[in-house]
Amino acid sequence: MSENCLFCRIVRGEIPATIVATTDDAIAFRDIDPKAPVHVLVVPREHIRSLNDATDPSLVGRLVALATDVARKEGVAESGYRVVFNTNEHGGQTVHHLHAHLLAGRPLNWPPG
């Protein structure tokens, strides 16, 4: 837990978010500034700074599995989606609490900018 971390505060319910799914160790909620028609963030309840600090590969696997469950629930599993972990500065990470982006609902450019 990190006192002032934005996503820890969302996990604790101190900041409102549109939660779409929860598990024992993760929550999924809509991004406040969506970059695609479906843009959901999947975050562990535990404060982990980035993929570099994710020492439990099974937790990372559960985050990906939850992103996939949400893709199915949102009806985009067949049309397709992208799951991205932005990591540190060059990866474009702005919130330093591990999270996966689930992006879908339109053709996504590749490579990303």
Candidate segments 2-10, 19-27, 79-87, 105-113, binder of Zn ion by CB under 5 A: 2-10
Q: What are phi and psi of 10, to 5 degrees?
A: -65, -45
**Residue 87 and residue 57 in contact, taking contact as beta carbons nearer than 8 Å:** no
> Which residues is 29 bridged to in the sheet?
19, 41
64 contributes a contact to Zn ion by CB under 5 A: no
Q: How many residues bind ligand 5GP (CB under 6 A)?
A: 14
Q: Given strand 81-84, what is the order of strands in its sheet? A: 19-22, 26-30, 38-44, 100-104, 81-84
Q: What does DSSP assign to residue 4?
A: T
Instruction: Return the range that interacts with ligand 5GP (CB under 6 A); candidates 20-28, 29-37, 64-72, 103-111.
Output: 29-37
Among 5, 21, 25, 31, binds ligand 5GP (CB under 6 A): 31
Interaction of residue 86 with ligand 5GP, rule CB under 6 A = yes
**Residue 101 is among the residues annotated as catalytic for this protein:** no
Active site residues: 99
